[in-house]
Amino acid sequence: MPPLPPIGRSLLRATLTGLAVGLCGLLFVACGGEVEQGSGGEQLLGLGNVLLLSLTLLLGGEIVTSTVVGSRPSAGQRLALVAGNAVGVGVVALLAWLWEASLWQDGAWGVSALERVRDKMNYGFWEAVALGAIGNLGLCLAIWLSRLVEGPSLKLMILFAPLWLFLNTGIEHCLGNLTVGLLALSVSLGAPPEFWALSGMSPGSLSLAVFAQSNLLPVTLGNLVGGVGVVGLAHLWLGHHREGCLRVEECSGP
């Protein structure tokens, strides 16, 4: 079987990453979002969420606004990363709808999904931009630093700590928010009557367009500022002597 071309490899890796992020989204909703004050069970779900995402990045997962910062993928590869990430999280959201995830935890999962999106939509435009910039700044730095060290254990430790902080401080990332938005949409549009009876809520008017305008667009802008505008420029400055270097010591040549 011939090897996949670069765009095909990028699409496959991004899709698998999207599937993993989608599973993280299921856990994020199940643990109620930020878990620093949560119960023991919620803390375990949060730990599982962060561990899954850390392992995904450790194994070479591709997130278009974060893992490619400082590298030079082609336009086709970037489009493949966007498409793959979106397809991956979309598949998980579709499965959540088909499996009636809104009824999980006696309806608490569906309520949590709607509440997580409501919280995100309550941010002001510039607040969402700032949270997106800080969030992707931390994520990009964690990924970059994990590539500077040797050994999977140390790499995992470097990834795990900032991702746990990410989960517990309310900072924002466009791919994670897209996941939560699609999961909430699957509840709002596809939950069975039993869910609305259990939750005491009524179907809302949530739409992907409204969520994108109020949250995804400003958060994505912030992600680009924090990732490309800060970490990416620093990476390129360190690597201006040598093409494609990832390690600081490799960038110190004449």
Task: Establish how many alpha carbons lie within 13 A of residue 138's alpha carbon, considering only the half-sphere containing its beta carbon.
Answer: 19
Give the tokens for residue 93.
């959201």
Residue 119 domain-assigned (yes or no):
yes
Q: Using 50, 70 and 90 to split pLDDT, how confident is the model at 146?
A: confident
The per-residue b/e assignment along 120-138, b for 16 or more CB within 10 angstroms, e otherwise, is bbebeeeebbbbbbbbbbb
- Name the percent of the chain lying above pLDDT 70: 85
Residue 193 domain-assigned (yes or no):
yes
CA distance 218 to 120: 11
Residue 209 domain-assigned (yes or no):
yes
Query: Averaging pLDDT over each range in 131-145, 148-162, 171-185, which range is the top one?
Result: 171-185
Collapsing DSSP states into helix, strand and coil, what is residue 193?
helix
Number of domains comprising the chain:
1
- The per-residue pLDDT for 252 is 42
Q: Domain span at residue 69?
A: 6-251
Q: What is the CATH number of the domain that holds 182?
A: 1.20.1080.10
Residue 64 domain-assigned (yes or no):
yes
Residue 27 domain-assigned (yes or no):
yes
Task: Report the candidate in 38, 53, 45 with the shortest Cα–Cα distance to residue 88.
Answer: 53
CA distance 130 to 224: 11
Give the tokens for residue 189.
């549009």
Residue 123 domain-assigned (yes or no):
yes
Q: What is the pTM of this model?
A: 0.86
30-44, 80-94, 193-207, 219-233: least confidently modelled range: 30-44
Residue 1 domain-assigned (yes or no):
no
